[in-house]
A and B are shown apart, each in its own frame.
Chain A
Amino acid sequence: MKQANQNTTGAAAATMDAEAIRRALQRIAHEIVERNPRLTDVVLAGIPSRGVEIAQRIAVFIHQIREIDVETGVIDVAMHRDDVGTRSELPIVRETKLPLPLGERTVIVVDDVLYTGRTVRAAMDAINSFGRPARIQLAVLIDRGHRELPIRPDYVGKNLPTSGNEKVRVRLEQTDGQPDEVHLEKL
């Protein structure tokens, strides 16, 4: 394989390798522990499919830090999106799994890449249909900018400046069957 130039964002340039991803998620876990004194109220709710895997990994790191098993869940956003009917391919709908009732809980939405913010809006909409959590926070592995809604993450693995004609590719072993990696691709 050709070695990509360090200064370009060519297709093969890995932005994060497995070790960088591990450290980023570990740091997010520490920040979650600092910000949330009552960890038993926290739910790490991943957006399928990589958000779910990332939420699991953060939960493992939190257990290593505090020996507390933080609850995890899944938020399906497909039926809450605002672009159904404008896409030629429908997103697959999955079951949402959240511990109920949500009343006293802090739901931390977890996703791999934060881009326009529309998925996060849909996720908040989905959560609200199950009840009214005490608070909602947002954790993402990558924030690539270009927000179209007033949404800001609480926990960020890496800020990655991008242009609109680039695509952020996240690969995780459990969801993609490939070694953990983040890289930028030109479209």
Chain B
Amino acid sequence: MTTRWTRKDLLGLRELSADEINFVLETTDAFKQVGTREIKKVPALRGKTLVNFFVEPSTRTRTSFELAALRLSADVINISASASSLAKGETLKDTARNLEALHADILVLRHSSAGAPQFLANRLDASVINAGDGAHEHPTQALLDLYTIRERRNKIAGLRVAIVGDILFSRVARSNIFGLLKLGAHVTLVGPSTLVPREFKKLGVEVSYRIDDVLPNADVVNLLRIQHERQRREYFPGIGEYIRLFGLTKERAKLLKPDCLVMHPGPINRGVEIDSEIADGLQSVILDQVTNGLAVRMAVLYLCGGISG
């Protein structure tokens, strides 16, 4: 392991090298073990202040970052703001000024606008961690997905990974695509043609509109959440139609190889993207993803927040 981490910020997986991604995954091994100790806390970031700034609502990502920071002995402040009341550019500048005034060392940002974390990273001495920006990237989610695959299969290169669902609007899909391709996996995107544009082929992935063709060869199936609360009715006719064509039903799951991993970034819509029997079944690693998310975020906070500003 000769790579060293030199980045102040984690904005996306697109700009990371395969070596850097592997370095984060190896560092995660050490932090995952902290969760098994009698005292689940280490002093690595003692005296540092982390601000969780979530302009878009999120419970699990925010609490995962919060717990990760607490286990590293950092102090945590949570700030949320409703996106509707904020005008993008100018407000972000104000945000930056406020955070500097708080002497924050690490800023974890979720924002509805792609590029918002980059904007702040360029203006702040503090480390900026992207916790999801628009439909752009969600790097820690992809890192925890990669970590979970690596943990179960001992490798990533050569595996066939199917990402199913709303690809077009998914930052999780984008970050996963970048990370998986860099580490040598084969990626197939599956979903309605309206949500899986052929444009994505330029990234080096395959595109399919027939899930039954893809499942038998897959080593990993990553099901994305159908965000029906966003009323994207124009993209597919309805939930029933989606389940019939793309849902991982009990019947359809019989097509899977016995050792195929079933993943989902959560929160799951039982009976929509995935049937309950499959979500709770032996192939499901959905709860491993949650556990690993904490360890991955500890590693990322340690690496980005630990280098001197």
Partner of B33, one of A88, A95, A131: A95
B307 and A88 form a contact (CB under 8 A): yes
Q: Contact size class for B?
A: 20 to 34
How many angstroms between the C-alpha atoms of A172 and B29 in the bound complex?
26
Main secondary structure of the interface of B (DSSP, over half): loop
State which of B39-47, B171-179, B284-292 sits at the interface with chain A.
B39-47
Partner of B43, one of A92, A96, A125: A125
Partner of A90, one of B29, B43, B105, B303: B303
How many angstroms between the C-alpha atoms of A24 and B79 in the bound complex?
58
Q: Which of B34, B42, B47 has the most CB of A within 10 A?
A: B42
The answer, yes or no, to whether B54 is at the interface (CB within 8 Å) is no
How many angstroms between the C-alpha atoms of A129 and B34 in the bound complex?
9
A129 and B39 form a contact (CB under 8 A): yes
Residues of B within 8 A of A85 (CB): 45, 47-48, 105, 305-309
The answer, yes or no, to whether B228 is at the interface (CB within 8 Å) is no
The answer, yes or no, to whether A86 is at the interface (CB within 8 Å) is yes
The answer, yes or no, to whether B102 is at the interface (CB within 8 Å) is no
Partner of B308, one of A78, A80, A86, A96: A86
A131 and B38 form a contact (CB under 8 A): yes
Chain A residues within 8 Å of B, Cβ to Cβ? 76, 78-82, 84-90, 92-96, 125-126, 128-131
In the assembled complex, 22 residue pairs joining A and B whose CB atoms fall closer than 8 Å, in A order, are A78-B44, A79-B302, A80-B44, A81-B44, A84-B302, A85-B45, A85-B47, A85-B105, A85-B305, A87-B307, A88-B307, A90-B306, A92-B1, A92-B27, A93-B302, A94-B29, A94-B30, A95-B30, A96-B33, A126-B42, A129-B40, A131-B38
Chain B residues within 8 Å of A, Cβ to Cβ? 1, 4-5, 27, 29-31, 33-34, 37-45, 47-48, 72, 105, 299, 302-303, 305-309
